[in-house]
Structure 1
């Protein structure tokens, strides 16, 4: 893909119009169609401090001349996350309309589902319903949902609307990310308001900032510097005020977005670091059950694009660092994603053959009993029905493969 957009800002900031063009250019080859005007068209909210792109929040900055800008690096990161998402257009999920059950409220439905339903129920065709008075179409988190919406009609009258499962999951995650980001922003603002300025001029400046942007964060989060290293999550999570303290840091992985949660190792119980919801959702294994995980293109960022950052983050856990390996779900995903790539079956497609969509890796036992722990990689979905076992890898072999492939990667996590 050739990049036609030239950054137009300084210090890594670009204008919203430039960001619009960059977003479209970077995601031109994405499986999920994106929309032009992701930063300047409803429901983008740059003028209240952020823009939602997929499951990623891009913070907006207002310059002294009143012009809004966003960090170019964050736009690129959001585009890379979206490009790593695989989408099966045949794997559909119904998003509406639904008949409300007695005693339930329509407000319980996800906001993005309510928005699509409202627009599609307007008079006229869906294309017209999804446009404002100025003729420009809506989007959701930078995604052009109109291109992938499927309408089905039963008995000639009853309509239903469907979207690919991968997009439904992404929009659910995007809405949760937005909620967490706004909650963290309000927490920081309340914390700053509760702490009286030490000088009258500081008080006037603070009042001015609140007047200019009441919903924007009042204080800049600080970089995380191992302040919680070696502490147990079960103890730290119960301490009063820990949520407010977490909101005072930037994400320890991407180091740009405000932190919202404490990521911790589920195997050893140690806190790793405060992270933003986007990074937390990206690294969270996609469990089907407690002992298996689906492995799709979402692992590209973890094992290829930003490998060093994730290895460093995972090895903030003293237990994982001492073993020089990954937590079991991530080790299982890595085994399926890399070690079994050459074994990946294909199925007939319109233009030759293509790899089967998603792998699943399950395990018996645990890392605490490595001799009895076995990882089994299978095809989770294949249109031609070719569901078979690809490999069975003992835990110790999987760990050794990771050490050999990772080279000095895991050991860099000790720093």
Structure 2
């Protein structure tokens, strides 16, 4: 149990639902879908079996100056936009650089840079490969760009844990603040993998929905007709700091970060443990590390990717953790609207969890027309008011390799 209170003082995002965190949240509440047909010429030319994805509502090249964007992979472009927005939302605090850190994440990193450079090498020779290729493709490019942009010198660390990555970055930030490594940290994650190779690979392993005729309704967590996730892109960032530091500078506070936990399945490289035992341990530890009990949890933002196997495994983990009380806890599955942002998913869902607590409103799960009878959850289908008083919510993320990460927040 940490001795310091850690609070959220800034949020920023660019997602398939909007170019900002607030726009993404408002469009989530409206029940919008970020999925749409892909219009790039390579979709037909390469005969991709999946022809849609959840693309960012605002492309980063519309936000960044051309000179800057040319030196950054799309994933890093998203990262910089989200982090700058979160920092501005936090009031651009005047902080000692050596007490300001970055905990960032990605699942895949600079896939566009890597594969474009490989095409250039094969087609035009080694002299045409850009000298910035390696700095652009490396997974830590996002953390590096953020710390250089904002002047953070307490450390810029990178997590690469597949779809659990950015939730793990929030857990790391909590631990680093508790340990006194910094007073304020930007945490989050980014992904830009809507590229032919990841699309083809995910489709080959039967992970993606193939409902090409209806992209907006393809992601349908918990539905009997769910057939896979929808690939998304974007980034989200949270400014986290000790309550003492936040109060001293008069910062607004969205919520308290109670803690988090990371576990591993040791089961399979892509499939979750069907019993969800390690995922359950992460949920329990995330809540109990704060000194609270599981009875305090009033809302859950589920990982809920819309895969046949994954949704069941998470339900079993939730049932193990909450027992009979699970049926009365409102659960939101927001990937139905955003698609799956891979390494950026946990961060945008952490923001949605924080906003749910701040506004006391659980966001809806769209596209659920016939709930799987094997998943007896109280799924929120329309924006739902959460009770008054002290509220606790958790956000779950699970990734290939058996990575599990969970964070817990409390209303303020």
Task: Note whether the superposition's TM-score is higher than 0.5.
Answer: no
TM-score by length of 2: 0.26
TM-score by length of 1: 0.26
Higher relative contact order (CA 8 A, sep 6+): 2
**Greater C-alpha radius of gyration:** 1
